[in-house]
């Protein structure tokens, strides 16, 4: 199925979803987030795990090209836990969702005029 929104379009909605998950106390390790980015599955992993509390539908019929989002995060999959602290200010090992939020902002920075 062809998607209406491709590339980084509407990835800001994912950032809002991450804020929502963090707000209700969900946590992921930095190590797990980096591993999932390396598998090109971080968005789907989180959606599957937190689906009951997830506001944004990412089912197959959603208009967002989640594969494109996965590819964008894959570009960061070579970072280490030390990089997360040094480059993005992530101080705790279980702040993986904050790391992903920071990376989403990085992606948005790159695409905005």
The pLDDT tens digits of the residues spanning 29-57 come to 999 999 999 999 999 999 999 999 999 99
Are the C-beta atoms of residues 89 and 10 closer than 8 Å to each other? no
Q: Is residue 6 part of a domain?
A: no
On whether residue 31 sits in a domain, the answer given is yes
Does the pLDDT of residue 111 top 70, yes or no? yes
Q: Is residue 81 assigned to a domain?
A: yes
Inside any domain, residue 1? no
Query: Range of 102's domain?
Result: 11-111
The count of domains in the chain is: 1
Please count the CA atoms within 13 angstroms of the CA of 13 that sit on its side-chain side.
Answer: 17
**pLDDT band, residue 113 (cuts 50/70/90):** low
* Residue 1: predicted pLDDT: 65
Q: Compute the distance between CA of residue 59 and CA of residue 92 in angstroms, rounded to an integer.
A: 31
Count CB neighbours of 101 within 10 A.
Answer: 21
For residue 3, what pLDDT is reported? 87
| pLDDT band, residue 72 (cuts 50/70/90) | very high
Q: By C-alpha distance, which of 97, 93, 81 is closest to 25?
A: 97
């Amino acid at each position: 199925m062809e998607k209406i929104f491709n590339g980084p379009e509407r990835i800001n909605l994912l950032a809002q979803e991450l804020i929502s998950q963090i707000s209700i106390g969900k946590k992921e390790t930095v190590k797990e987030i980096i591993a999932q980015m390396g598998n090109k599955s971080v968005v789907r992993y989180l959606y599957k795990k937190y689906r009951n509390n997830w506001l944004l539908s990412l089912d197959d019929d959603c208009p967002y090209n989640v594969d494109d989002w996965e590819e964008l995060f894959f570009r960061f999959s070579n970072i280490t836990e030390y990089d997360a602290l040094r480059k993005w200010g992530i101080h705790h090992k279980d702040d993986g969702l904050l790391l992903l939020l920071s990376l989403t902002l990085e992606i948005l920075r790159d695409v905005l005029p």
